[in-house]
């Protein structure tokens, strides 16, 4: 019985190692749940990482700093506007509805689900900044 318990513990530790598919999926679900909680509580200024599906690519916002904009749906069903500053980071190439996108940025609440911005390096170097990843390529 003790040997069986040890085997179960070892297998559990191996399956929870970073980089395993199950681990990534669980991390994505945790991030989506955190974003849903931030939306429900009307919180802003929260750094988040998540993965979702592009549901719509919008025209660039050209007022002030230029931003590439698209809407992502998380596994929870929540939608987010991603506003990626293309004056500070490269444009995400060939982005289309249906693409899976991972991102890190700062979340700001709005009634439509929220906005994620700061998906780029901090030009002043004071904070880590964010990124967008599509098809194995990271944009920051």
pLDDT surpassing 80 at residue 137: yes
State the pLDDT at residue 61. 97
State the pLDDT at residue 32. 81
pTM over 0.85: no
- Domain span holding position 88: 2-139
Which of 119, 81, 122 shows the shortest CA–CA distance to 103? 119
Number of domains in the chain: 1
Please write the tens of the pLDDT for every residue from 102-112. Answer: 999 999 999 99
Average pLDDT over residues 117-122: 94
State the pLDDT at residue 94. 92
**Cβ-based burial of 60 (10 A; exposed 0-12, middle 13-18, buried ≥19):** middle
Q: How far apart are CA 8 and CA 11, in angstroms?
A: 5
The CATH number of residue 31's host domain is 2.40.50.200
Between 6 and 38, the higher pLDDT residue: 38
Would you say 129 and 99 are in contact if contact means Cβ atoms under 8 Å apart? no
pLDDT surpassing 90 at residue 34: no
What is the average pLDDT value for the chain, to the nearest integer?
83
Q: What are phi and psi of 38, to 5 degrees?
A: -65, -40
State the pLDDT at residue 26. 54
């Amino acid at each position: 019985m003790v040997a069986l318990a040890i085997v179960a513990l070892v297998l559990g530790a191996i399956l929870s190692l970073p980089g395993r598919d199950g681990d990534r999926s669980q991390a994505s679900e945790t991030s989506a749940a955190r974003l849903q909680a931030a939306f429900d509580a009307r919180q802003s200024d929260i750094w988040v990482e998540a993965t979702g599906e592009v549901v719509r690519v919008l025209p660039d916002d050209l007022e002030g700093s230029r931003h590439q904009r698209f809407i992502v749906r998380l596994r929870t069903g929540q939608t987010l506007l991603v506003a990626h500053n293309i004056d500070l980071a490269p444009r995400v190439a060939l982005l289309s509805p249906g693409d899976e996108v991972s991102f890190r940025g700062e979340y700001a609440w709005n009634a439509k689900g929220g906005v994620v911005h700061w998906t780029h390096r901090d030009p002043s170097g004071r904070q880590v900044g964010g990124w967008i990843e599509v098809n194995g390529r990271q944009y920051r």
